[in-house]
Amino acid sequence: MVSHARIIVRNFGPFEHADLVLKPLTLLIGKNSVGKSMLSYLIWTLASIMPNFEKLAEILTERNVDEVARKILDCIEKGVSPEDKVKELIRMHIETLPEAIASSLKEALQKVFVTRLNGLIREGASRASIELEGPQASLKLVIENEDIRVTSHKPYLEFTDELKVRISRPNRLKIIFPDGYEKEYYVTSISDLASVTLEMLANYIVRVLHPFFIFTYAVLLPDSRAGISRTLLKPYIHPTLTKRISYVDEQFIDLYFKFAEYVHEGLVDLKMLEPLLKELGCDLEVVFEKGVYTIYAKTWTGKRLPLPQAPSGIRESLIVALALASKDEPKLIVIEEPEAHLHPRAQCVLSRLIVRAVNEKGKIVLITTHSDYIIYSINNLIALSQHRDKARELGYMDSEVLEPSKVAAYLVRAEGNKAILEPLRVDSSGIPEDEFAKISEELLEERSRIMV
């Protein structure tokens, strides 16, 4: 399998074929309207959905899962280890998982892209496919005739072989994981056993399909952040506004209140935010009012403003910064145009925060951008990996040094009637700056013609 997650799409949106490896920092670089957002939204969707457990239960019932469960309960009651049967039960869930994922994905794609499924298929094609490779398992799904079906699934069934199951005392089921970690469960009913099995299934997903289908671990920060912050960050939104809110914007609103609470509970590393807040000329304050936690920005002028009334640069970047500096969740952060509404120097400071999030917090960060300042800043941090002795001398922290092996970069461009995802070389000098250099050259040539 693969060491990093990989996604391959065919005939999805404008892409005839796109093959992307998701590294700790992944960049989609390109002009407007070439497909960067569509690909990033798809990756976020795949990372944030959970399997349809009702569908899972329906299929398992057809496979007589209750019979296996009753045999396990009988063994537990008699004090006999049900190891083989528990492993069989977990394998049944693993084998059924793709159908439950396909069911959830069908609904999620329509909500995220606000279209029917066939609207996601490239013009002129009859079907689209999405292939995922996690660290130890793979899955291929096909979109066709307003439906999603599974066409290939390579599970990691060795997962169950590595587990040990014991009866520690009456009605106590102990599971020992490969790393030696042990967990004991109180099991007296099929409902208790179902909870244990679903926990094992979640453990399986995290281990072999990471970062896909990890539920609460992924966030999407859309490019409309400043506008959403101005109009919609209120605990009680007028009903006429809610009718026009997209699913993506809705989840962003939820993030605001979640991160406000995170700050209050000490779940955000505020020290990490200091350089960016200083550059933006503000400080943070979280207060509990009207039944929710609310963020206020204290600006350099002395004014104390609720976030919806703060300057656009603060509204655009603050939730991004809180996600990057969060101590635990989210694990995967998708950011559209982190440069939006930011002065070039602030873009550089934000780039350093992104790298710190990758190195210090273990985040997986995917960004779409057409900012040369973002690219140049990240290239400088990559170049430091070959000159670590200069990092502190130049005012950089060790965690702002970026190893090229942690970076994947892609140029997204239009060619005819399709979008091309072109992998870019990432080495010790960084990411090629050719595309931006071409634009600079064109501007200089234009200036020369003007001045002649």
Provide the pLDDT for residue 310.
84
Shared-domain flag, residues 162 and 194? yes
Shared-domain flag, residues 280 and 135? no
**Among 330, 357, 377, residue at a domain's last position:** 330
Return per-residue pLDDT of the chain as tens, 452 residues: 457 899 999 999 999 999 999 999 999 998 888 899 999 999 999 999 999 999 999 999 999 899 999 999 988 888 888 999 999 999 999 999 999 999 999 999 999 999 999 999 999 999 999 999 998 999 999 999 999 999 999 999 899 999 898 888 888 888 998 888 888 989 888 898 899 899 899 889 988 998 998 766 788 888 766 566 655 555 544 444 445 567 888 888 888 889 899 999 999 999 999 999 999 999 998 988 878 888 888 988 888 888 888 888 888 888 899 999 999 889 999 999 999 888 999 999 999 999 999 999 999 999 999 888 999 999 999 999 998 888 888 889 999 999 999 999 999 999 999 999 999 999 998 988 775 566 555 555 665 666 65
**Among 330, 349, 373, residue at a domain's last position:** 330
Domain that holds residue 176: 53-208
Shared-domain flag, residues 124 and 62? yes
Q: What is the CA radius of gyration of the chain?
A: 24
Distance in angstroms (rounded) separating the CA atoms of residues 216 and 241: 26
Shared-domain flag, residues 101 and 191? yes
Per the domain annotation, does 16 fall within a domain?
no
Per the domain annotation, does 244 fall within a domain?
yes
Global confidence as pTM = 0.89
Q: Which tokens go with 377?
A: 């800043």
Provide the pLDDT for residue 342.
86
Shared-domain flag, residues 135 and 238? no
Provide the pLDDT for residue 315.
84
Per the domain annotation, does 440 fall within a domain?
no
Shared-domain flag, residues 142 and 69? yes
Q: E strands within 107-264? A: 128-133, 138-144, 147-154, 164-169, 172-176, 182-186, 218-221
Per the domain annotation, does 389 fall within a domain?
no
Per the domain annotation, does 369 fall within a domain?
no
DSSP code of residue 425: -
Side by side, the strands of the sheet bearing 164-169 are: 164-169, 172-176, 182-186
Shared-domain flag, residues 86 and 203? yes
**Among 272, 305, 330, residue at a domain's last position:** 330
Q: What is the tally of structural domains in the chain?
A: 2
Shared-domain flag, residues 200 and 246? no
Helical segments of 233-281, H only? 239-242, 247-264, 270-280
Per the domain annotation, does 235 fall within a domain?
yes
Per the domain annotation, does 276 fall within a domain?
yes
Shared-domain flag, residues 82 and 175? yes
Shared-domain flag, residues 91 and 127? yes
Provide the pLDDT for residue 1.
46
Q: Tell me which amino acid residue 189 is.
A: S
Burial (CB count <10 Å: 0-12, 13-18, 19+), residue 157: middle
Shared-domain flag, residues 203 and 236? no
Shared-domain flag, residues 183 and 251? no
Per the domain annotation, does 36 fall within a domain?
no
